[in-house]
Structure 1
């Protein structure tokens, strides 16, 4: 997914909340150095594989007993998600996150938001359905600052696109929705759900009842449309010949014959199968025009011979 924006997923370079904490142990100092290196590889050098490898090494060095471990882990995971996305290895993002958090309910809100957006971007929202549902129904997560954003993303980018209108309505109106959405957001969410429900209730078009190309102007192929225009033009010329038949034979009729021959022999390739129907129609019209122009002459000549 090299087309994805690095700024959209990558965290800011500064990790001020970590730097101004109490003095770091030697292990955490090494971890912080790896975190800086991963950020530089991702955002400056754009070496995505090196950035991901550095994140993996940093996660392995974390001291679980330190209270700042959670901040470091989340930072490494944010950088790692961006690196995997840039490497087009997005399909492994959720499993990689679960290696470090073990349970979906323990994933930080910001990382859950990123995962929903990432899998939505690649059209794989269903991958996040179970994880997001478990996360939202975990009581401890309802107190997190990003809880409402996760609920909103889950509603708009997972449930509604997948057509799960009942679960979407329960999310908006149920216990989860009461804590996640304001009154205005709840009403907007219901409107979105009802619109999706109406779309689901519309019967699919019946192919057997679809109008045929002969009766529907919307289903006429480009070739058929061109043939219709050509036929209309030729009929116009034919009518002009009828009008001009009372005048002198000559120049006007010769000109019309030249135009038709030019269209027949120059503008169309007789070797193309697509030209056959055109040529057939032209020959029919030429025959009608010939009979119109010269039939009276031949009839008069035949009558004089009989006399």
Structure 2
């Protein structure tokens, strides 16, 4: 959930509005009371579901209200409290869609609300969710004169583009037309230094990952060879024992069936694919073993009959 430092102090907000817009209409007083109630439910009673539903009712009432003097501030207040309630309810995936539901266009979202959305999605590790909306908002010329424009650009750079490893877009943001109009030269240089440091760290991580993959593959191959070699010795010992047991009965035993069974057993145990080059070594060893069995069991009998 967002830090408590980001939470709006609605009571103070209500006092300021009461002083600025006095006397308040009945509709305005009702909406201010609802906003205060939503904040108390959120911060004092930790009843996040009730707080969100109060915000929903307040925004629905605002949509039908005719007074325009405090409508923007009240709408922003309900949205800020509602965002925090959704975050506390672990319903953060729907925050941006909920905000866009109450603002017709993404570029119309107030700067402070967009800042909260960026920080929220960055905190949960999903900066890509807010990338497109922030990009649209920054490209809108009418937003460049807003007080929070630079803050939105900074958060977009640090918490969206860099975590997504979009260093080219980050550099374009800093040195492009938008960056020149938003940041001072010192701020631009600081941002470029941060981008270069991020690129260096990325290259080091890639080298480390490549090294670890290479070592892991080498260890895996070595282990497989050891395991396969041990299994091969066991299979050879089993076949040699069978050979000795069947030597006396070689004239009556269907030897071709034995050879076929040994071949199938050998390939099943070792899970060999005869089409793979890596299988040639083991097939060659099997061939040698079968030739040895032939020489011991069948060759003497075959030569005797031939003579």
Name the residue aligned to 2:17: 18
Deviation per CA, 1:85-144: give whole Å up to 9, x if none.
111111111011001112110000000100000000100000010001011111111101
Map 1:130-209 → 2, pairs under 5 A:
130-201=132-203, 202-203=206-207, 204-207=209-212, 209=214
Question: How many aligned residue pairs are there?
Answer: 210
TM-score (norm 1): 0.65
> Unaligned regions of 5+ residues in structure 2, if any?
220-307
When the two chains are superposed, the root-mean-square deviation of aligned CA atoms in Å is 1.8
How far 1:197 sits from its partner (Å)? Answer: 2.4
| SS of equivalent residue, structure 1 residue 30 | helix
1: distance between equivalents of 2:67 and 2:124?
37
Instruction: Provide the C-alpha distance between the structure 2 equivalents of 1:53 and 1:177, rounded to a whole number of angstroms.
Output: 40
Aligned counterpart, 2:107: 105
Aligned equivalent of 1:30: 30
More helix by share: 2
Q: Could you tell me how far apart the structure 2 residues matched to 1:107 and 1:17 are? A: 23
Report the Cα distance in structure 2 between the residues aligned to 1:64 and 1:89, rounded to whole angstroms. 32
- Aligned residues of 1:74 and 1:108 also touching (Cα < 8 A): yes
Measure, in 1, the Cα distance between the counterparts of 2:33 and 2:212: 63
Which SS does the other structure have where 1:205 is aligned? helix
Q: Which residue of 2 aligns with 1:9?
A: 6
TM-score of the superposed pair, with normalisation by structure 2? 0.65
Q: Distance in 2 between matches of 1:173 and 1:64?
A: 44
Structure 1 residue aligned with 2:83, among 81, 84, 88?
Answer: 81
Q: Evaluate the alpha carbon distance shift between residue 99 and residue 197 of structure 1 in structure 2; reply closer, same or farther with a 3 A threshold.
A: same
How far 1:51 sits from its partner (Å)?
0.5
Unaligned runs of 5+ in 1: 214-307
Shift in Å, 1:29 = 1.6
Give 1:207 shift: 4.9
Question: What is the CA deviation profile of residues 260-307 of structure 1, one whole-angstrom value per residue up to 9, with x for unaligned ones?
Answer: xxxxxxxxxxxxxxxxxxxxxxxxxxxxxxxxxxxxxxxxxxxxxxxx
Tell me, yes or no, if the aligned pair for 1:9 and 1:82 is still in contact at 8 Å.
Answer: no
Match of 1:115 in 2: 117
